[in-house]
Amino acid sequence: MSVSRPRIPFTYDDYKSLPESTERRYELLAGDLFMVPAPTTRHQRICQNIEYILVGYVRRTQRGQVLDAPVDVVLGTGTAREVVQPDILFVTAERAEIVTLAEVVGCPDLVIEVLSPGTEERDTNYKKTLYARHGAGEYWIVDPPTRTLERYVLGADGFGAPQRLPADAIFTSPLFPDLIFECREIFAP
């Protein structure tokens, strides 16, 4: 006779009670706790390249701030709170109050995920919907094997069809006026 176990969802308080760790990162999605595997060196280089481009721009223009993982982004309130740790995020200067010492409370204006085999399904499905639901103006998914960047822009019905940019494309975004770069820069070794 098998005993069925009730599904008891993890809460935000459960998440916050986890011991701090420099080796492990976690996300809380729909009451489930997920360990995020350590990224590969290729993944890290791509993140560094994107950050270099965005941080340089933000420092020149004072338009906001760029943060990278690990940083908790808390979406929702009460028992419906979820916690994600995007690879890179941007919050405009006008919304700087959502960035606290401990975490980002609310959805960033831009969220960037660099795909990894262990997170690809969540990043391209659940988290994309989550970010749209909470108002991310843009969501970029970077795919290292295909050397593409998919840019999703929030509309009235969520994210529209992505702008799929290959490595030889020129990138621009209304979120970053006057910022132009070749996508190949983010895939540079």
- Amino acid found at 56: G
- How many percent of the chain have pLDDT more than 90? 72
For residue 97, how many other CB atoms are within 10 A of its CB?
9
Kindly report, residue by residue over 11-58, the tens digit of the pLDDT: 777 777 777 765 677 777 887 777 777 788 999 999 999 999 999 999
Provide φ and ψ at 20, rounded to 5°: -65, 145
Averaged confidence pLDDT in the chain: 90
All structural domains of the chain, each given as residue ranges with its CATH number in brackets, are 12-187 (3.90.1570.10)
Do 89 and 108 form a contact (C-beta atoms < 8 A)? yes
Residues ≥6 apart with Cβ < 8 Å to 175: 90, 109, 110, 137, 138
Using the predicted structure, report yes or no on whether residue 128 has a pLDDT greater than 70: yes
Report pTM. 0.88
Q: By percentage, how much of the chain surpasses pLDDT 70? A: 96
pLDDT score for 2? 67
The string of pLDDT tens digits covering residues 84-124 is: 999 999 999 999 999 999 999 999 999 999 998 888 888 99
Average pLDDT over residues 62-66: 96
Cβ neighbors of 96 (< 8 A, separation 6 or more) are: 64, 65
Q: Say what the pLDDT of residue 144 is.
A: 95
Buried-state track 23-49, b at ≥16 Cβ within 10 A, e below 16 = eebbbbbeeeebebeebeeebebbbeb
